[in-house]
């Protein structure tokens, strides 16, 4: 059977949120065996997102965790807590299965031993653009797979440089010295790896902006182990699009509309 793709999406309230989620759901709905882990950056789950998910036609889990106020400013990595909440939820879901599979394997549970589960974990920001082909590519991830990302790093695209089927470097316009010079949208991790490295999380402390991906990946893999997808990283199947800030200059201040629209 198809390995489930778990797409972890952090999202926060703003005028374009419902539009972004609508676009994302329209993509995800066409991917079979996808489980959407939507994590709101909020103290409570909101009515807007709950109602939206109920009608989205996508298998989903709805979580929430607020970003601490001190981290809500420019120049700091975004959505660290939300991505980690998604990882923690997944590990809890599979906890019993992992323990059982370690026990059945007679050998003492070694950390590098992989539990007998199948699935793929992918970090899908709510404003990017995803081709359907991308999901076919990531579905076959054995440990950690990588591919190019469009419209990022001050270039038309960034990509892992591949020689003889192995990643040997990074084509990037920004901090090529990062151990994994890759955007969040440029990799997927097998569920086995996520579960067998239970401490791997996104870091705030000591993580400079733009280093989150690298800091995370170095906890679970090595560059030599990366599996290049998208024809040896020669095709762009996902774009780091960003939505323009909406102009609400003409919103009425005082008497709003006669009806309430979300
Ligand atoms: N995000 C969030 N809380 C915030 C800012 C962003 O949950 O305060 C989410 C956002 O919805 C998106 C992801 O984090 O899914 C990355 O944010 P953004 O797209 O703004 O980052 P960038 O495009 O600059 O990498
Ligand atoms: Mn974005």
DSSP for 200-219, written as a single string: ----STT--TT-HHHHHHHH
User: Whose C-alpha lies nearest to ligand 1, atom 24?
Assistant: 242
Tell me whether residue 78 is annotated as binding.
Answer: yes
- pLDDT, one tens digit per residue, over 114-155 is 778 899 999 999 999 999 999 999 999 999 999 999 999 999
Q: How confident is the model at residue 113 (pLDDT cuts 50, 70, 90)?
A: low
pLDDT score recorded for residue 110: 57
Would you put residue 133 in left (φ > 0), alpha (ψ -120 to 50) or beta?
alpha
* pLDDT for 99 beyond 60: yes
Q: Is 128 in the pocket of ligand 1 (CB under 6 A)?
A: no
Q: Is 227 in the pocket of ligand 1 (CB under 6 A)?
A: no
Q: What is the mean pLDDT of residues 217-225?
A: 97
By annotation, the residues acting in catalysis are 213
pLDDT score recorded for residue 256: 83
- pLDDT, one tens digit per residue, over 158-215 is 999 999 999 999 999 988 899 999 999 999 999 999 999 999 999 987 777 789 999 9
By most ligand atoms within 8 Å of CB, the mutation choice from 125, 152, 204 for ligand 1 is 125
Percentages (nearest 5) of helix, strand, coil residues in the chain: 30, 20, 45
- pLDDT, one tens digit per residue, over 48-93 is 999 999 999 999 999 999 999 999 988 899 999 999 999 999 999 9
Q: Is 162 in the pocket of ligand 1 (CB under 6 A)?
A: no
pTM: 0.96
pLDDT score recorded for residue 225: 98
CA 109–ligand 2 middle distance (angstroms):
39
What atom of ligand 1 comes closest to residue 82's alpha carbon? 7
Taking only Cα atoms into account, the Rg of the chain, rounded to an integer number of angstroms, comes to 19
Q: How confident is the model at residue 101 (pLDDT cuts 50, 70, 90)?
A: confident
Pull the structure tokens for residue 207: 């993580």
Separation of alpha carbons 182 and 157, rounded Å = 11
Q: Is 11 in the pocket of ligand 1 (CB under 6 A)?
A: yes
By mean pLDDT, which of 6-20, 91-105, 129-143 is the weakest? 91-105
Q: How confident is the model at residue 100 (pLDDT cuts 50, 70, 90)?
A: confident
Separation of alpha carbons 9 and 86, rounded Å = 8
**Helix, strand, or coil here: 187?**
strand
CB 233 within 8 A of CB 159: yes
pLDDT score recorded for residue 61: 98
Tell me whether residue 11 is annotated as binding.
Answer: yes
């Amino acid at each position: 059977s198809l390995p489930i793709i778990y797409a972890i999406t952090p999202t926060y309230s703003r005028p374009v949120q419902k539009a972004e989620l609508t676009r994302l759901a329209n993509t995800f709905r066409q991917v079979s065996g996808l489980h959407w882990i939507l994590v709101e950056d909020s103290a409570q789950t909101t009515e807007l997102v709950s109602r939206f998910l109920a009608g989205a036609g996508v298998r989903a889990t709805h979580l929430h965790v607020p970003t601490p106020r001190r981290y809500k400013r420019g120049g700091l990595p975004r959505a660290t807590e939300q991505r980690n909440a998604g990882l923690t939820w997944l590990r809890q879901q599979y906890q019993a299965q992992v323990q059982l599979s370690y026990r059945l394997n007679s050998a003492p549970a070694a950390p590098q031993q992989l539990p007998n589960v199948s699935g793929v974990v992918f970090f899908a920001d709510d404003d990017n653009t995803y081709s359907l082909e991308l999901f076919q590519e990531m579905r076959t991830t054995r440990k950690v797979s990588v591919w190019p990302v469009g419209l990022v790093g001050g270039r038309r695209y960034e990509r892992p440089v591949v020689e003889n089927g192995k990643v040997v470097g990074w084509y990037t316009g920004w901090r090529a010295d990062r151990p994994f010079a890759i955007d969040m949208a440029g990799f997927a991790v097998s569920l086995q790896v996520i579960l067998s490295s239970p401490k791997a999380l996104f870091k705030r402390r000591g993580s400079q902006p733009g280093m989150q991906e690298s800091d995370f990946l170095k906890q679970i893999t090595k560059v030599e182990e990366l599996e290049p997808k998208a024809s040896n990283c020669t095709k762009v199947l996902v774009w780091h699009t960003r939505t323009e800030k909406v102009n609400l200059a003409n919103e009425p201040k005082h008497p709003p509309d006669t009806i309430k629209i979300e």
